[in-house]
Amino acid sequence: MRWLAVVFALFPLPALAEFFTLKGHGGPIMGIATAPDGRIATASFDNSVGLWSDRRPEWLEGHEAAVNSVAFNGRAIYSAGDDFTLRRWPGGEVVGRHKGKIVGLATSKTRVATASWDGTIGIWPEDGLPKQTLMVGSGVNAVVFSPDGSTLYSAGMDGALRVWDVSSGQETLRLIEHGFAINELVLNAKDNWIAYGAVDGVTRILDLTTGEERDFTLGRRPILALTLSPDRRLLAVGDGEGYIMVIDTLEWRIAQDFRATLRGPVWALAFSVDGQNIHAGGIDKAMYSWPVAGLDKQEQMASDEPSFLKNPDEMSNGERQFTRKCSICHSLTPDSQRRAGPTLHGIFGRTAGTLPGYFYSDTLQDSDIVWNDKTINALFDEGPDHYIPGSKMPMQRITQAQDREDLIDFLRQATTSRN
């Protein structure tokens, strides 16, 4: 049997795929990327990027709002989000800035492309050349480079799938006029097709040689994530109803259709480097990774129900207002629990923008607001965008005076009685 040991030494068996989770974020997982060495990067609503080696995190902090997308490019990591910035790690320096949220990233050997809701695509060269701005005119959701970096594909809110010449910055072709917003793109250049997923649930694969389209639409909407396996055999699709559909691109059939979460969407997908696992993020604060084989037999996401999905009949009106408007960003404990916003513990009597360890907007840091019944009421009566223009707080109001009063009563009790 000595020959068998020699064979195993020369050709070791691959590690068996296993289910695992990456926990530590304080908000939903919005983007996932994998590196050739096995590292995983996660972009989160908690304003941070998690860099995972051997399932242990290093936190990349610097974004001032939710991080939507992350990508490896050689030794660098790029991330972008709701603070309008593109950042490069290590260091977190701002290397690009839009006038609206950045929701998509693509990298080539020499450039990074950003898709922004300000109606433009940013091309940010790594060699110090001037940046390019490609004018689309409506929000851009997704971008992807050709392998040589000379061509860029984009899609967005107007439902058009565009082709760009990167050197000139000119649109050269419009492949699709879908009519509904296209959210996601995946390019398979070796087999010469591109896949797209749209807000109306359409999932299609376009042959770039013949123009033929294959339709895998299942009527679930919107499509929020697409990813291709390293061997190009499997295309995974995540949607707003919590499913992951896996398409076999050799036999052109749906191989698996897994309900990944009972409540909430699948926002992010990526295959492991060896293709054995599929990583996913959603409304839960953890990244889940399942073996691709037997996906439908695996544990679902969000096993611990987020507070904002609790049965409203089990809560007081004040707690209902908190869970709907505040809980995804703020904790009530002394620990902020890596949420997108600072903890509300001890908020009454606290000057706005002063809690140590949180990256506040300049507007809030420079204000003279002290949080009390009157100022909290005004915040939700007028809406953060009017009460504190320039704040990072999302645009929302509580229009009924009784609802605001009940929220304030709940916050006073919940933020002063906890240790």
375: CATH: 1.10.760.10
Say if 1 falls within a structural domain: no
Q: In whole angstroms, what is the distance from residue 141 CA to residue 118 CA?
A: 10
14-45 pLDDT, tens digit per residue, is 456 899 999 999 889 999 999 999 999 999 99
User: DSSP class of residue 221?
Assistant: -
CB 357 within 8 A of CB 335: no
The pLDDT of residue 231 is 98
**CB crowding 332-359: b at 16 or more within 10 Å, else e:** beeebebbbbbbbbebbebebbebeeee
Q: What is the mean pLDDT of residues 104-121?
A: 97
pTM, two decimal places: 0.81
Residue 7 lies inside a defined structural domain of this protein: no
Same domain, 272 and 367: no
Same domain, yes or no: 81 and 143: yes
Buried b (16+ CB within 10 A) or exposed e, 181-201: bbbbbbbeeeeebbbbbbbbb
Q: What is d(CA 23, CA 29) in angstroms, rounded to the nearest whole number?
A: 10
Residue 411 CA to residue 324 CA, distance in Å, equals: 14
325 plus 240 within the same structural domain = no
**Residue whose C-alpha is closest to residue 156's, from 182, 191, 192, 178:** 182
Least confident piece of the model among 117-121, 144-148, 367-371: 367-371
Per-residue confidence (pLDDT) for residue 14, from 0 to 100: 46
CB–CB of 122/86 below 8 Å? yes
Nearest to 366 by CA among 351, 383, 380: 351
Identify whether residues 234 and 358 lie together within a single domain: no
Q: Evaluate whether 317 touches 403 at the Cβ level (below 8 Å).
A: yes
**Residue 60 in domain:** yes
From residue 130, alpha-carbon distances to 28, 111, 126 in Å are 35, 11, 10
Residue scoring higher pLDDT (11 or 412): 412
Percent pLDDT > 90 in the chain is 73
The answer to the question of residue 5 being in a domain is no
For residue 374, give every residue at least 6 positions away whose Cβ sits within 8 Å of its Cβ, in sequence order, or none. Answer: none
Asked if the structure places residue 135 within a domain, the reply is yes
Distances (CA, A) of 3 to 13, 15, 22: 15, 21, 40
- In this structure, the answer to whether residues 132 and 281 fall within a common structural domain is yes
Domain residue limits at 179: 16-297
Q: Are residues 231 and 124 in the same domain?
A: yes
As beta bridge partners, residue 163 has: 153, 173
Whole-angstrom distance, CA of residue 170 vs CA of residue 391: 36
Could you say which of 297, 329, 349 is where a domain stops?
Answer: 297
Beta-carbon count within 10 A of 313 CB = 6
Give me the chain's average pLDDT, please. 90
What is the pLDDT at residue 13? 40
Q: Tell me the per-residue pLDDT of 179-228, one tens digit each, with 9 for 90 and over.
A: 999 999 999 999 999 999 999 999 999 999 999 999 999 989 999 999 99
Dihedral angle, C-alpha 395, 364, 307, 244, nearest 10 °: 60
Residue 221 lies in a domain: yes
Do 130 and 85 lie in a common domain? yes
Residue after which a domain boundary falls, among 297, 322, 338: 297
- Beta strand spans in 24-75 (E): 29-34, 40-44, 48-53, 56-61, 67-73
- Cα separation, 312 vs 299, in Å, equals 26
Contacts of the segment 293-300: beta carbons below 8 A, 24+ positions apart:
293/17, 295/244, 295/246, 295/256, 295/258, 296/256, 296/257, 296/258, 298/19, 298/258, 299/19, 300/259, 300/260, 300/261, 300/262
Q: Which domain-ending residue is among 279, 297, 315?
A: 297
Q: CA-CA distance, 107 to 93, in Å (whole number)?
A: 17
CA 8, CA 155: separation in Å to the nearest integer? 47
The pLDDT confidence band at residue 238, using thresholds 50, 70 and 90, is very high
Distance between first and last Cα of the chain: 64
Residues 220 and 323 in one domain: no
The pLDDT value recorded for residue 4 is: 39
Please state, in angstroms and rounded to a whole number, the distance separating the CA atoms of residues 147 and 109: 9
Q: Is the pLDDT of residue 10 over 50?
A: no
